[in-house]
Structure 1
Amino acid sequence: MLVFPKDFEKVSKNFLNNSLLSICHYQKNSLNDKNQEVVFKDYAMVFILKGSKSIYTIDNHFSIKKDELAFFTKNSFSIRDYLNSENIYESIILCFKESILIEFVFKYQELICKLNSLKCAKSLFSLKIDSVTKSIFQSFLLYINASRNNEYLLRLKFEELFLSLLYSEDNAEFLAFLKTILNSFKLDLYKMFLYCQNDFENVASMARFSKMDMASFSRNFKQSFGISPKEWLDNKRFEKAKFLLEFSTKNITQICSELGFNSPAWFIARYKKRYGVTPKQEQKSKNLYFLS
């Protein structure tokens, strides 16, 4: 059994992973026509470029074809890909964390009214996408082929995809998918939106905000977001640090102080581990103020 996105490397050389998104360009032909059961441990979208896929879950079974998109909730699975007339199957698999989805739902709050009126109890959804959404999916291939794993740019690209699906004429299945995800969260939805809006100093301040003890809050937060509150805070801080390094005139010490990193040395080491470059290298290569 394969577990996605962890096992992307077992099925393809063309994939990208970061703290929020995992993207894989998956190709299959008659030479490697071996069907394996796949379990999605993150929420996922699978866009079919060539061939078709037969999908099985506990409560559903159907097929999706070329130019169609399937949405998977956590722990849903599929077991068979079908080659086309040229003996080829090809798809783009996009896995994502709850935290990025929650931020988008908060940012586009008109969603809440639409979602509250929906009733759904499925774990699997699909639709045929329009040409605009198709082009957005295909643009992810450019990032994969160039090995350009820029978390900030990929986040913007995912937001573009989110909006394209949200405001498409045939958006009912996408809205139902969002509703199913939000219904599975263990924390109050309104409070989760506020988590995205506030800058917290530490996990203790988040627990106080939610009026819960640390242990209960941490457990419920991880069940809702898929990551620990400490990981979530670190992700937010590093995203903001990356933005400031690329677009502000502040130096590294100022950025560390503003974002609550007590040790510049710790920040530099963790930044390089996360992004593959030091903060200074990021600043010199991307920021117009520091280009020499």
Structure 2
Amino acid sequence: MTYVVPNYFIDNRYENLLKIDNLLCLNYITKTKDNTVNARTTMHSMGILLEGSKVIHLSNEDININKAEIFFLTQNNYYISERALKESKYKSLLVYFDDKFIFDFINKYNIKISSKEEQSIVKASYHSDILFENSVQTFQEYLKIKFDENLLKLKIEEIFLQAIRLNENEMHCFFNSILSTSQARIKYILESNIDLIQSLDDMCKITRLSENKIRRYIKKEFGQTPKIWLDSKRLEKAVLLLNNTNKSITDISTTCGYSTVSWFISQFKKYHKQTPKEFRHKI
């Protein structure tokens, strides 16, 4: 099973989930056994590890996160999170944020980005820096007592500023990753999650937009209805996989988001006048 976050926490109404404007904060605690989960992000995130440890397995690297470390991860990453508990407890603070928060933050503090490189994940330690550690501890206390939302937002901004103070180049690269894809964010999210989308409702959940906004966006950008766009993108991806991989027809069907192989074959034949198997053999 793939967990889409923060959607999973919202849909399951986590009691520790707090919404502040365009931010979502979660004081996450688990006492279950060590586990490994597949996850995708529909918002950018900041994670602060308080107890235990975890490994984030990305497509091209593994990131080890230990107690008293913080990480920033860009939206729409697909990863495997492998958690290890310490003394039967895993505890972290999670903050989910969108492009607007970053734009406002950069403008508010007049941050001059000095790097042109991009980095989708950044890690830092706050244990050895008393100012950074105090910022994290205060933020944690504010979350416990549901403090004034304006102060909570300021504490989040303070943690960002502390991370920039200690890891300026890496944080600038992280900001660049967000800024470089912001204009095509909706398209990027939809295309990268084709396998999870079965309906317009799924599009809304993945992008966190209303039905009307999704319809208008797809009509404006592609001149199509959501259903026609989804069908074309699925088949476009299927053709790519048939041409360039040895994946079975069943695997391709699943990867492209079809509920059954027979439905995939039927739709493919409808558009290409031949079955996927026939198409592959003619290449």
SS in structure 1 at match of 2:49 = strand
The percent of aligned pairs where both chains have the same amino acid is 26
Match of 2:48 in 1: 47
The alignment of Structure 1 onto Structure 2 pairs a total of residues equal to 184
**CA apart distance, 1:219:** 4.7
- Give distance in 2, aligned partners of 1:119 and 1:61: 20
Q: Which amino acid aligns with 2:47?
A: V
Structure 2 partner of 1:179: 176
Correspondence list, 1:22-171, <5 A: 22-29=24-31, 31-76=32-77, 77-84=79-86, 86-112=87-113, 114=114, 117-120=115-118, 122-129=119-126, 130-148=129-147, 150-168=148-166, 170-171=167-168
Distance 1:44 1:126 in 2: 12
Contact 1:48-1:68 within 8 A present in 2 as well: yes
Alpha-carbon deviation of 1:98? 1.3
Determine if contact 2:20/2:153 at 8 Å carries over to the other structure. Answer: no
Three-state SS of the structure 2 residue aligned to 1:141 is helix
Q: Which runs of 5+ in 2 are unaligned?
A: 185-212, 222-283
Q: Distance in 2 between matches of 1:145 and 1:108?
A: 27
Are 1:67 and 1:128, in contact at CA under 8 Å, matched by a contact in 2? Answer: yes
Amino acid at match of 2:162: S
CA offset digits 1:16-63 (Å, max 9, x no partner): 12331111111222x454432222211101111111111022232221
Q: Give the superposition deviation at 1:11.
A: 9.1
- Tell me, yes or no, if the aligned pair for 1:23 and 1:93 is still in contact at 8 Å: yes
2-structure distance, mates of 1:48, 1:66: 5
- CA-CA distance at 1:127 after TM superposition: 1.7
Instruction: Please report the RMSD computed on the Cα atoms of aligned residues, expressed in angstroms.
Output: 2.7
Q: Offset of 1:131 from its aligned partner?
A: 2.9
Shift of 1:91: 0.9
Cα contact 1:37–1:78 (8 A) shared by 2: yes
Partners in 1 of 2:111 and 2:99 — Cα distance? 19
Listed as ranges, the gaps of 5+ residues in structure 1 are: 188-214, 224-292
State the match for 2:259 in structure 1. none
User: Alpha-carbon deviations, 1:73-102, whole Å to 9, x = none?
Assistant: 111234211112x23221111111211210
What is residue 3 of structure 1 aligned with on the other side?
4
Change (3 A) 1:141 1:123: same
* SS of residue in 1 equivalent to 2:96: strand
Q: Look up the match of 1:262.
A: none
The answer to whether the 8 A contact 1:43-1:97 is kept is: yes
Check whether the contact 1:53–1:80 (CA below 8 A) recurs between aligned residues. Answer: yes
- What TM-score, normalized by structure 2, do the two folds share? 0.57
- Matched residues in 1 for 2:110 and 2:142: separation? 30
Q: Post-superposition, which runs of at least 4 consecutive aligned residues in structure 1 deviate over 6 A?
A: none
